[in-house]
Amino acid sequence: MVPPGWGDVCPNPGVAKPGIIMADTTRIDVDNGTVVGDPPLAQDTSLVDSSFDQFGELSFEQIKAMADHVIDAEREILADGRDGHPGIGPKHILDPNTNQWVCDTSDPYNWGSDDPNDPCFGYYPIILIKGEMEVHYGYGQAVIVIDWDDSKPAGSKGGEFELETDFRFNGLILGKGCVEIQKGALFHGAVFVDANYRNEDLCGGDLDYDMNTNKPEVYWSQCAVDRAIEAAGLAQYAESETESPRPLPSRAFGEVLE
């Protein structure tokens, strides 16, 4: 499905795929949310922890090292622009040479724009989130990589990323931890996260993939995935090396998502 407002940016929406793929489908709570895919939810027992350690030619550590910005979240960051918190959305600076507004890629809270006329429409940063982060009231398009917070006590592991109150996100979420999409949030893209790699404190001790409150929506979107991989500079690593599909744990992350 092509995200709303993108027009004919992706003339070929891609083949239908499951909205969510999990090794254990009992570890998701959709509640009053909507998952759109074909089928909406599928089980693949070949998924194991090691499936998330290597993405084709790139290891998880190498992807982390490619991050455009690192957000260290010792505590939850409410990135909604209120009460002194940084707001997520397109940021611009004036180019003195052209006197034109251009996308400010130096700002870690600039996660692009969903407006094809905005200078940040083609910007998809790789954002490494270390710890717990929830985002509200805004828009983002990115490759989100979630990881543990080194500042926490030894033995803590996994990260937490929450799309909350009406936040709209188009792109890709990778990493180790848990994901929550709730309170009317809208997501187009794909999630490839090792939810086994977390401690009980993350996501409130709830299930690994939680969708509830005010009808959040999740859509598998080949268009959003392709744009994220291409713009973030990951396309060369997402190419299939064989003509026939390989077992999921041995595939490049792009083969899983393409």
Residue percentage of the chain with pLDDT more than 90 = 21
Beta strand pairing call for 92-95 and 100-103: antiparallel
Question: Do the beta carbons of residue 211 and residue 180 sit within 8 Å?
Answer: yes
pTM across the whole model: 0.85
d(C-alpha 185, C-alpha 179), whole Å: 12
- Percentage of residues in the chain having pLDDT higher than 70: 77
Distance between CA atoms of residues 87 and 138, nearest Å: 7
Q: How many CB atoms are located within 10 Å of the residue 141 CB?
A: 28
Length of the chain: 258
Structural Rg of the chain based on CA atoms: 17
pLDDT confidence bin for 105, thresholds 50/70/90: very high
> What pLDDT is attached to residue 155?
58
Q: What are phi and psi of 232, to 5 degrees?
A: -85, -5
Q: Quick one: average pLDDT of 17-32?
A: 74
Structure tokens at 97: 């040479």
Q: Is the pLDDT of residue 63 over 50?
A: yes
- Flag whether pLDDT at 67 surpasses 50: yes
Nearest to 177 by CA among 116, 133, 112, 236: 133
Confidence (pLDDT) at 198: 61
Instruction: Name beta bridge partners: 211.
Output: 181
The widest CA-to-CA distance across the chain, in whole angstroms, is: 56
Quote the pLDDT of residue 208. Answer: 57
- How crowded is residue 110: how many other Cβ atoms within 10 Å of its Cβ? 22
Calpha distance 230→240 (Å, rounded): 15
Give the per-residue pLDDT at 154.
60
d(CA 31, CA 180): 12
**In terms of Cα–Cα distance, which of 22, 51, 20 is closest to 252?**
51
**Single-letter amino acid, residue 117:** N
More confident residue, 85 or 228: 228
Going 192 to 195 to 199 to 200, the CA torsion angle's sign is positive
